[in-house]
Amino acid sequence: VAGHDGRFLFGYIEGVPAVLMKGRVHYYEGYDIQDVVLPVRVMGMLGAKQILLTNAAGGVNCSYVPGDLMLIQDHISLAVPSPLRGKNIDELGVRFPDMSGIYDKELQKIVEDKATLLGIEIKKGVYMQCSGPNYETPAEIKMFRSFGVDAVGMSTACEAVAAHHMGMKVCGISCITNMAAGILDQPLDHKEVQEVADMVSRKFETIVTDTVKAMYKSQKEKK
């Protein structure tokens, strides 16, 4: 998929040891859902205790505009299978994990504080993962809005579930790259998504870098 190299990068973010996913695999590419979350599983098994998930998303909330950043407070993932289906791997987590606090509130607070210091406005909302690769219909978007969805995309929720299942602290940020179907009188295309993502990349990079440093500092202080 354009924009997703599909490889790991090991290194440091201004002194903070980190593993980065340079792109991701998607359910719509034909992979089993367990394979989609395998990179997250690997990072957890390498020792990662916290994970910051990012994505490009369509704005369902009519107050959003392309270029906005949204802190994910919760998600809906009914449109894709659970990555936990099948035989449970007890060494990774329990059979029936609670999902009421999947996005860590402490990490959310770190993102909010960093955004404020940087003068970056950040929205807060509910993200929905759909299967893709087709964009959603206007009728589907109307239904999602009635559910309380603020942004929609084709990734992230399943990865958050897998990470949470392993006991990792999860944080998620969506970049609103386009308005969802039916909100504006114009067709959707992947090129627009990439163009907006490139436009806000510097802002996104800054808040991610500062957040990662603060996450690492917070973790060290608790040891």
Cis peptide bond prior to 187, omega within 30° of 0: no
What is residue 218's predicted lDDT score, i.e. its pLDDT? 84
Residue-wise over 18-35: b if at least 16 C-beta within 10 A, else e?
beebeebbbbbeeeebbe
Residue at 143 is within a domain = yes
Quote the number of domains for the chain: 1
Q: Is residue 47 part of a domain?
A: yes
When pLDDT is averaged across residues 69-98 and rounded to a whole number, the result is 96
Q: Are 92 and 202 spatial neighbours (Cβ–Cβ below 8 Å)?
A: no
Local structure of residue 27 (DSSP, 8 states): G
Query: 69 in a domain, yes or no?
Result: yes
CATH of residue 48: 3.40.50.1580
Closest CA to 85 of 45, 32, 124: 32
In whole angstroms, give the CA distance from residue 39 to residue 143: 32
pLDDT digits (tens, 9 = 90+) for 28-72: 999 999 999 999 999 999 999 999 999 999 999 999 999 999 999
Is 48 among the domain residues?
A: yes
**Domain membership flag for residue 1:** no
Decide if 56 contacts 85 (C-beta within 8 A).
no
d(CA 115, CA 135): 30
**How many other C-beta atoms lie within 10 A of the C-beta of residue 37?**
26
Residue 212 lies in a domain: yes
Higher-pLDDT residue of 8 and 156 is 156
Radius of gyration of the chain (CA): 17
Q: What's the count of helices (H) and strands (E) in the chain, helices before strands?
A: 7, 7
The rounded Cα 118 to chain-centroid distance in angstroms is: 21
**Whole domain around residue 122: which residue ranges?**
7-181+188-221
pLDDT at 190 over 90: no
- Note the pLDDT tens digit of each residue in 119-138: 999 999 999 999 999 999 99
**pTM of the shown model:** 0.91
User: Is residue 2, in this structure, part of any structural domain at all?
Assistant: no
DSSP letter at 184 equals: B
What does each C-alpha distance from 34 to 24, 37, 74, 171, 191 come to in angstroms? Answer: 13, 5, 21, 20, 29
* Mean pLDDT across the chain: 92
